[in-house]
Amino acid sequence: MLKEFKAFAMRGNVLDLATAVIMGGAFGKIIGSLVNDIIMPLIGLVMGGVNFSELSFTVGEAVIKWGAFVQTTIDFIVIAIIVFLIIKAANSMKKEAPAAPAEPTTKECPQCFSTISIKATRCPNCTSELK
């Protein structure tokens, strides 16, 4: 069982996935910092010095932190836009796969080697029967 797990863990797909998760976590921290430390303070400044992370209201004993929700929503939108731009750039750099070759419309007669229709059952040149 240990041998099977080692073979599973060393396959390229698992290592690629692990790398993607680690890179995604680091990328998320960068975007979080961009939103929290640059974008939100600028939005707060434009709105008269509002600090979104502290905006909340109370219903009974429950504290509704709607400012943190707005901040997290903007965080998500920025991540979505950046991921879209990265994927768009990666797709534009990809080489297009060559088109599949068209189905043949002709074949060669095995008796006289002339070119004939692929649907032919008898060669029009030598009249031999075709399979």
Q: Which CATH number do you get for residue 12?
A: 1.10.1200.120
pLDDT at 12: 66
Specify whether the CB–CB gap between 104 and 118 falls below 8 A: yes
Q: Are residues 19 and 61 in the same domain?
A: yes
Q: What is the mean pLDDT of the chain?
A: 85
Q: Are residues 18 and 35 in the same domain?
A: yes
Q: Are residues 55 and 40 in the same domain?
A: yes
**How many angstroms separate the first and last alpha carbons of the chain?**
54
pLDDT in tens, 57-112: 999 999 999 988 988 888 888 888 888 998 899 888 887 767 788 888 999 998 88
pLDDT at 61: 93
d(CA 7, CA 111): 55
Q: Is the model's pTM score more than 0.75?
A: no
Per the structure, the complete domain to which residue 119 belongs is given by 100-131
- Model confidence at 24: pLDDT above 70: yes
- Model confidence at 22: pLDDT above 90: yes
